[in-house]
């Protein structure tokens, strides 16, 4: 029995993530226990950690700091596979321009930028923000979490801000501009999209995470 | 290739069963919501919207149970609407496995509820459902918000209202034409275009789909980001796959069903 800790810092709906991971565990016949928790002891003891997040970064960072989640994530990244999703991915960076500018955890070099109010598509059409729906992810380089996921598969996104980082992108998408939709750095894999809401491709990525040993 | 236009089947549910009212009367049974959701998801639906059309207090428990059962089997976004009046209603639905909630009447009676909801749960999960009816035709058409299944006028201008809801934190607008709902004569694409051009967030068109071409028209003529339909899918007139194929043939970017 291996354990997956989903870090619960009180921001939004973690049930989707937990349910999807449990479902994948059953499908692959991997004995999995999912713990939705903020307890440092449980997170330290888990075999894998998921760092999710939805909502505004200022509120997320306030709770992350209050509960010392940054330390737990930093420690987990040293020793075991960590999957960061959406605002979880953004929280890893150094700084976000959301809410007038918010310092983030600085565990990964890079920053979080707004898509802008005058975002235009290829034909000059105005693009809506948030970027909401199914977009293609081009696999910028190979990674165990992409195994069996066809290149340019569509994943479900909902976000108004995106990550800028150099050299570690594993997935790239286009919405008015090209942006990093997934990156990997040693034990961490981070996605701007929601694998738990991305049907077959998303469940495959979660299954790969359950079998990935990290590094 | 970029963001795909979405096709969203809508399940109107009454006491645990999928139904479809034509202009909110003449309700026909269309099956078990969990089975129906799974079928749509497998066929390539981009999201599922679940509307609790009775939402009386006693039936609330049934709805929560059904939402939980859908969320455990369907791994695409799930929106739940109908009877969302308090922050606690939202919390209960999100905990049951919904990804977004649709707020309708409660927003009209207390617009600040939308702001409180977006602040507490994030704009990404707050959909404001708008029921609009045309009140003036001609060169400068106007639409108003109606409540109580389209029976009560409010005097509120629909296009301005949508802008206000976005300012309050709505992450998406679900726009239903009460003139077209249940008629199978196509969307009100003048309404769709007026709202979609006025707000920065995605707009879902609803009300009036009878053919696959109507879905394409919503995107091409109405300029919307997603199209919602119920009866054409429930009664097996068309499959989601056929809808995607048709939209693709009209040059619209869609997501193909995954194996």
**pLDDT at residue B22 in the model:** 47
B32 in catalytic set: no
> Is B2's CB within 8 Å of A121's CB?
yes
Residue B259 has pLDDT above 60, yes or no: no
Dump the DSSP string for A89-157: HHHTSSEE-GGG-EE---SSS-EEEE--TT-B-TTSPBPPSSEEEEEEEEESS--GGGTT--TTEEEEE
Residue B166 has pLDDT above 70, yes or no: yes
Q: Are A142 and A131 in contact (CB under 8 A)?
A: no
Environment class of B56 (CB within 10 Å of its CB; exposed 0-12, middle 13-18, buried 19+): exposed
Q: At A119, which helix (H) or strand (E)?
A: none
Q: What is the pLDDT of residues B75-115, one digit of tens each?
A: 999 999 988 999 999 989 988 889 999 999 889 999 999 99
Q: Which residue of the set A23, A71, A86, A94 is catalytic?
A: A86
- Strands B172-177 and B126-136, bridge-based pairing: parallel
Task: Provide the pLDDT confidence category of residue B21 given band limits of 50, 70 and 90.
Answer: low
**pLDDT at residue B232 in the model:** 86
Task: Give how many domains chain A has, as a whole number.
Answer: 1
Chain A residues in contact with B123 by the CB 8 A cut-off are 130
> Is B72's CB within 8 Å of A19's CB?
yes
A94-107 mean pLDDT:
95
Chain B residues in contact with A159 by the CB 8 A cut-off are 124
Residue in the structure block whose two tokens are 């069963």? B17
**pLDDT at residue B210 in the model:** 94
Q: At A2, which helix (H) or strand (E)?
A: strand A2-7
Q: What is the pLDDT of residues A105-125, one digit of tens each?
A: 999 999 999 998 888 887 788
| Largest separation between any pair of C-alpha atoms in chain B | 49
B228-241 mean pLDDT:
87
Chain B residues in contact with A174 by the CB 8 A cut-off are 1-2
Q: At B144, which helix (H) or strand (E)?
A: strand B142-147
Number of H helices, E strands in chain A: 6, 13
CA distance B168 to B130: 14
The token duo for B58 is 């006693």
CA distance A61 to A148: 34
Q: What is the pLDDT of residues B130-154, one digit of tens each?
A: 999 999 998 899 999 998 777 889 9
A86 in catalytic set: yes
User: Which ranges in A28-68 belong to alpha helices (H)?
Assistant: 40-45, 57-66
Residue B20 has pLDDT above 90, yes or no: no
> Is A13's CB within 8 Å of B71's CB?
no
A111 in catalytic set: no
Q: Where are the domains of chain B?
A: 6-249
- CA dihedral B129→A191→B89→A63, nearest 10 degrees, is -130
* Range of the structural domain that residue A133 is part of: 2-211
> Is A15's CB within 8 Å of B202's CB?
no
Query: Among partner residues A122, A133, A200, which is closest to B258 by beta-carbon distance?
Result: A200
- Report whether CATH 3.40.50.300 matches the domain B6-249: no
Q: What is the pLDDT of residues B195-205, one digit of tens each?
A: 999 999 999 99
A144-169 mean pLDDT:
96
Q: What is the number of CB-based contacts under 8 A between chain A and chain B? A: 106
Residue A81 has pLDDT above 80, yes or no: yes
Q: Are A208 and A153 in contact (CB under 8 A)?
A: no
**pLDDT at residue A1 in the model:** 85
B160-180 mean pLDDT:
96
Closest CA to B172 of A132, A121, A119, A98: A132
Q: Does the beta carbon of B259 lie under 8 angstroms from any beta carbon of chain A?
A: yes
The token duo for A105 is 């955890």
Q: Does the beta carbon of B155 lie under 8 angstroms from any beta carbon of chain A?
A: no
> Is B77's CB within 8 Å of A197's CB?
yes
CA distance A12 to B74: 19
Which range (A116-125, B1-10, B25-34, B176-185) has the least confidence?
A: B25-34
Q: Are A7 and A52 in contact (CB under 8 A)?
A: yes
**pLDDT at residue A10 in the model:** 80
Task: Provide the pLDDT confidence category of residue B23 given band limits of 50, 70 and 90.
Answer: very low
**pLDDT at residue B174 in the model:** 97
**pLDDT at residue B56 in the model:** 62
- The share of chain A scoring above pLDDT 90, in percent, equals 85
Considering chain B, what is the average pLDDT of its residues?
90
Q: List phi, psi (to 5°) of B159.
A: -70, -45
Residue A100 has pLDDT above 50, yes or no: yes
Alpha-carbon gap: B105 to the closest alpha carbon of chain A (Å): 24
Q: Which residue of the set B14, B131, B179, B188 is catalytic?
A: B131
Q: Does the beta carbon of B22 lie under 8 angstroms from any beta carbon of chain A?
A: no
**pLDDT at residue B236 in the model:** 77
Residue in the structure block whose two tokens are 């043939």? B249
Alpha-carbon gap: B27 to the closest alpha carbon of chain A (Å): 31
Where residue A182 sits, what CATH number does that domain have? Answer: 3.40.50.880
**pLDDT at residue B55 in the model:** 56
Query: Among partner residues A15, A56, A158, which is closest to B97 by beta-carbon distance?
Result: A15
3-state secondary structure of A124: coil
Considering chain A, what is the average pLDDT of its residues?
94
> Is B258's CB within 8 Å of A55's CB?
no
Q: What is the pLDDT of residues A25-52, one digit of tens each?
A: 999 999 999 999 999 999 999 999 999 9
Q: Does the beta carbon of B198 lie under 8 angstroms from any beta carbon of chain A?
A: no
CA distance A12 to A90: 15
Q: Are B225 and B203 in contact (CB under 8 A)?
A: yes
Q: Does the beta carbon of B77 lie under 8 angstroms from any beta carbon of chain A?
A: yes
3-state secondary structure of B133: strand
Chain B residues in contact with A156 by the CB 8 A cut-off are 76-77
> Is A154's CB within 8 Å of B172's CB?
no
Scanning every residue of chain B, which has its alpha carbon at the shortest distance from the alpha carbon of A172?
B2
């Amino acid at each position: 029995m291996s354990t997956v800790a989903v870090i619960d810092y009180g921001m939004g709906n973690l049930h989707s993530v937990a349910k999807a991971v449990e479902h994948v565990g059953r499908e692959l016949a991997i004995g999995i226990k999912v713990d939705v928790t903020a307890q440092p002891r449980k997170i330290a003891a888990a075999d894998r950690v998921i760092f999710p997040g939805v909502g505004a970064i200022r509120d997320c960072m306030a709770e992350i700091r209050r509960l010392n989640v940054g330390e737990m994530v930093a420690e987990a990244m040293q020793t075991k596979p960590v999957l960061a999703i959406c605002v979880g991915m953004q929280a890893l960076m150094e700084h976000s321009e959301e809410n007038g500018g918010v310092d983030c955890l600085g565990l990964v070099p890079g920053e979080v930028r707004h898509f802008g109010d005058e975002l235009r598509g290829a034909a000059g059409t105005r693009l809506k923000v948030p970027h909401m729906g199914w977009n293609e992810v081009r696999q910028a380089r190979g990674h165990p979490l992409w195994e069996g996921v066809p290149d340019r598969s569509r994943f479900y996104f909902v976000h108004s801000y995106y990550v800028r980082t150099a050299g570690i992108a594993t997935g790239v998408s286009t919405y008015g501009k090209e942006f990093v939709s997934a990156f990997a750095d040693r034990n961490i894999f981070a996605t701007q999209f929601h694998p738990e809401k991305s049907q077959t491709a998303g469940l495959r990525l979660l299954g790969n995470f359950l079998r990935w040993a990290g590094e | 290739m970029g963001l795909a236009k979405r096709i969203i089947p809508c399940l109107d549910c009454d006491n645990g069963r999928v139904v479809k009212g034509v202009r909110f009367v003449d309700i026909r049974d269309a099956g078990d919501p969990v089975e129906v959701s799974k079928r749509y998801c497998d066929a390539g639906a981009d999201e599922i919207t679940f509307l609790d059309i009775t939402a009386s207090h006693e039936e609330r428990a049934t709805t929560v149970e059904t939402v939980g059962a859908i969320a455990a089997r369907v791994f695409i976004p799930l929106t739940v609407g109908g009877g969302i009046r308090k922050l606690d209603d939202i919390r209960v639905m999100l905990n049951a496995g919904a990804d977004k909630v649709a707020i309708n009447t409660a927003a009209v009676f207390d617009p600040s509820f939308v702001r409180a909801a977006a602040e507490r749960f994030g704009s990404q999960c707050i959909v404001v459902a708008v029921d609009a009816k045309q009140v003036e035709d001609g060169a400068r058409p106007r639409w108003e918000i109606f409540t109580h299944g389209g029976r009560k006028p409010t005097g509120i201008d629909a296009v301005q209202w949508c802008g206000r809801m976005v300012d309050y934190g709505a992450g998406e607008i679900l726009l239903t034409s009460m003139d077209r709902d249940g008629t199978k004569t196509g969307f009100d694409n003048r309404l769709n275009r007026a709202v979609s051009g006025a707000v920065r967030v995605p707009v879902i068109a609803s009300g009036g789909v009878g053919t696959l071409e109507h879905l394409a028209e919503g995107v091409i003529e109405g300029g919307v980001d997603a199209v919602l339909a119920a009866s054409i899918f429930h009664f097996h007139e068309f499959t989601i796959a056929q809808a995607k194929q048709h939209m693709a043939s009209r040059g619209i970017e869609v997501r193909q069903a995954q194996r």
